[in-house]
Amino acid sequence: MNNNLILKWLLIVGGLVEIIIGILFLFIPYALSSIGLPQIPFFSQMAGSFLLGFGILLLYSSKRVEIFRIVPLVNILIRFIMIGFSLLSIPSYPEFVVILIPAILYDLVWSILFLYLLDKENLLFPNAKNE
């Protein structure tokens, strides 16, 4: 299968996942209160709007990966930052382990796979010569 086609489908799937999770965070701000943590709706709604926005941008960037590659690269940077914060919060909130471990694995696998495919298509550093 063509790597460029895989990149496009990876962006589409990643965008749809972020849109779905963003909508859940926007319209179900008290979902996490069921595990006993106090919730402030503002933070859930803010996270949901960021996820929704990035999901839409990932879907849009799937049209022309070579032109809009900055969108998934910024998304990957944010994913790596969130992985760090997730790992730091596990000892403080062990109730979140069930949510955080799959989220960390998804972000890590998606990011590494996308970077690998970008490199294979010579889109990660397009001006660098292949030796």
Cα 102 from Cα 118, distance rounded (Å): 24
pLDDT at 125: 81
How many separate domains does the chain show?
A: 1
Q: Which domain holds residue 78?
A: 3-120
Task: Please check whether residue 129 lies inside any domain of the structure.
Answer: no
Note whether residue 53 is domain-resident.
Answer: yes
pLDDT of residue 37: 62
Helix (H) or strand (E) holding 81: helix 70-89
Residue 82 lies in a domain: yes
Which of 14-23, 36-45, 101-110, 116-125 has the weakest average pLDDT?
36-45
Kindly state the tokens that stand for 63.
């049209």
CA 64, 66, 69: angle at the middle one, nearest 5?
Answer: 90
Is 19 part of any domain?
yes
In a domain? residue 130: no
Residues 27-58: tens digit of each pLDDT: 776 666 676 666 677 877 888 899 999 999 99
Residue 127 included in any domain: no
